[in-house]
Structure 1
Amino acid sequence: MTTNRELQKQDTVLVTSGTGKTGRRVVERLTALGVPVRSGSRGGGVPFDWEDESGWEPALRGVDAAYVAYYPDLAAPGAPEAMAAFGRIAAGSGVRRVVLLSGRGEPQAVVAEEALREAATGVELTVLRSAFFAQNFSEGALLDGVLGGELVFPAGSAAEPFVDADDLADVAVAALTGGGPAGVVHELTGPRLLTFDEVAAELTAATGRPVRYVPVSGPAYAAVLEDCGLPAAEAGFLADLFTMLLDGHNATTTHGVERALGREAKDFTAYARDAAEDGAWHR
C-alpha cells in the first residue's frame, strides 16, 4: 500500500461525470479544499462525453489527477475499450493518478479496471469497488418509488450493505489529494446488511409515509425501465446487472471506509434520517 504525494495548490483534478451522484460530491469537496477542479459533463463548461473520445484529450490537458465514473457502468459492453483509450490519453497527457469508481462483485467491471491499468502506463490507479448507493433511494432511479410508496426492484430477499455516497466521495478525495491510501483497491460498503423489505421499513420510518418493497423479475424490471424512457438495450443491461448484483454474492460487509478514512461508515438509518431532514422526499 502506498500513500500518494499531496496535491499542490496549482494541481488540477478532472472529475468526469462531474454532475453525477458521486462526481458532484467529489467536485464540492475538492473545491472546498481549494483544489482547482474541472467538472466534466456532456453539457457543462468542460465538455466530456464517454461516447465522444475527441473531447477527452482537451479535458485532460494539464490535469494532474482524475476521478473517473463511467456511464452506464464499468460492466457494460464497450467499457474495457473506453477505459483503455482513456488510460492511454491520460498517460500521454501527464496525468499522475486516477481514482476509478467501480462496482463491487462485478467480474466484467474488473476487466475494465485492468484495461485502464494496463493502458495508463506510469499512472497511479486507485479503484473504489462500491456497494449499492443508499442515495439511489433519494436521488436516483428509486426516488419515484419511495415517493409513490412502492419500491419495484429485482432484489428478491437478498441483503445488501448499502454504502453512503458521501463516504465514497470522501475516500475518493483522500486518494486524489494524498490524504489516504492510494494505488490500491478499496471495497466500500456500509456497516450493515439490509434486505429491500428492511430498506422499505427504514424509509417508512424516516419519511413518515408507507413504503413497501415489490419484488419483480429481471425482465419485468427491464420493462419498467423502458416505460420510464430508457432504450431497450440499456434497460435490459441494467436489469440483468441488478439481478446479478443482488443474487446474494455481495451479502457481506467490509471495513473499507474505516481503513481509508479512520472512521466508521455511515449507517443506512443515519442516511435516511439526514436525507429526510434535507427534504429529499418532500414532494
Structure 2
Amino acid sequence: MTFDNPILVIGATGKIGSRVASRMAALDHAHRAVSRSTNPAFNWEDPATWADAMRGMRSAFVTYVPDLAAPGAPEVVEHLAAVARAEGLRKIVLLSGRGERGAELSEDRLSRSGLDYAVVRASWFNQNFDEGMLLPSILSGTLALAAGDKLEPFVDADDIADVAVAALLDDRHNGHTYDVTGPRLMTFADAASEIAAAAGRAVNYVPLSIEDFHAALLAEMGRAEADLLTSICAEVFDGRNEWVGDGVQKALGREPRDFADYVRNAIAKGAWRQAA
C-alpha cells in the first residue's frame, strides 16, 4: 500500500466521493473515506469533527454538501483549508459547480489558502438520472425541470472521479481548474428521449417555470433545499453552460464518455427496470 500521500475523501457516500474512494482502494493507496457516519466522522455542520478526520492525511478530495452555491459556502471552504493546513495537509482537490458564482468564490478562497490545489468543475452528472434526484422522475415517466430548452454537456461521474484521482496523485495538476463535461450538448428533452428509447419506456420532459418548479419542490422537501435547488436552476440555466469543456482531455489525455455509453451501461446494471 502507498503510504507517502495518504488521501482523505470527504463526502465518501456521494456519487463522486464513493467513486474516488473505490479507485483509491483499487490502487491500494492509503486513504480515509469519511462522512457523518464514519469513525472518525466528518460533519460539515460540526467543524469540531474536521481536524480528527484530517489527522495524518496529506491530500484531500472535497465535496461540499449541500452545494458550493449555498450561502456561506466560500467561508466554509476557507475555514476548511485553514484546518487542513494546521493538520499538515498539502493539497485539496475540490469538486466545484460549473457556472455557479458561489462555487467560483469558494475556488478563489481555496486558491489563496496557501495549499496546493486543483479544481474539478462539473455541472449535471449523467448519473443523476439513475442514481440521484432525477431517478423518480424517470421512473414516473415525467421529467419536469426548470431548464427550458437550454443545452447541457452532461458529464459522467466516472470521468469526474478519474480526473479527481489524477489530480490527487500527480502534482502536475496543481493549480489547474478542469471544466469537465461530456463530448456533446444536449437538452433535457434529448436526454429523456435517449433514455426512453434505450430502456423501452415512456419518458417525457416537461419544462417548468421557476415558480412552478419551486412549488413542486416545496411539496417534496423543506424550504431550504427547495430554495437552493431553485436558485441553482435559475442561475445555471441561462445559457452560461452551453459549451463543451476540455477538462477530461487535458487531465487524462482521452475523450470523455458519451451520454449514450452511460445509458447502455446503466441499463446493463439494471437501471430503470422498476415499475417498467
Specify the TM-score bucket, using the shorter chain as the normaliser: over 0.9
TM-score (ref. length: structure 2): 0.95
Which residue does 1:97 correspond to in 2? Answer: 91
Say which of 105, 124, 131 aligns to 1:132.
124
Which residue does 1:69 correspond to in 2? Answer: 63
Say which of 219, 223, 233 aligns to 1:232.
223
Which residue does 1:260 correspond to in 2? Answer: 251
Which residue does 1:271 correspond to in 2? Answer: 262
Q: Secondary structure at the match of 2:67?
A: coil
Which residue does 1:214 correspond to in 2? Answer: 206
Which residue does 1:3 correspond to in 2? Answer: none
Say which of 184, 199, 209 aligns to 1:192.
184
The structural deviation recorded for 1:85 is: 0.6
Letter in 2 for 1:244: E
TM superposition outliers: structure 1 runs of 4+ over 6 Å? none
Separation in 1 of the partners of 2:145 and 2:40? 35
TM-score (ref. length: structure 1): 0.93
Q: Secondary structure at the match of 1:22?
A: helix
Say which of 168, 173, 176 aligns to 2:165.
173
Letter in 1 for 2:181: T
Aligned pair count reads: 274
Which residue does 2:197 correspond to in 1? Answer: 205
Contact 1:27–1:37, Cα closer than 8 Å, also in 2: yes
Identical aligned residues as a percent: 45
Letter in 1 for 2:222: P
Name whichever of 71-80 and 156-165 sits farther off.
71-80
Separation in 2 of the partners of 1:227 and 1:277? 33
Separation in 2 of the partners of 1:200 and 1:30? 33
Separation in 2 of the partners of 1:207 and 1:182? 41
Which residue does 2:101 correspond to in 1? Answer: 107
Contact 1:105–1:245, Cα closer than 8 Å, also in 2: yes
The structural deviation recorded for 1:222 is: 2.0
Structure 1, unpaired ranges of 5+: 1-6
Which residue does 1:158 correspond to in 2? Answer: 150
Which residue does 2:238 correspond to in 1? Answer: 247
Letter in 2 for 1:100: L
| Partner deviation per Cα, 1:82-134 (whole Å, 9 max, x = no partner) | 1111010001111111100001111221111112222x32x111001112111
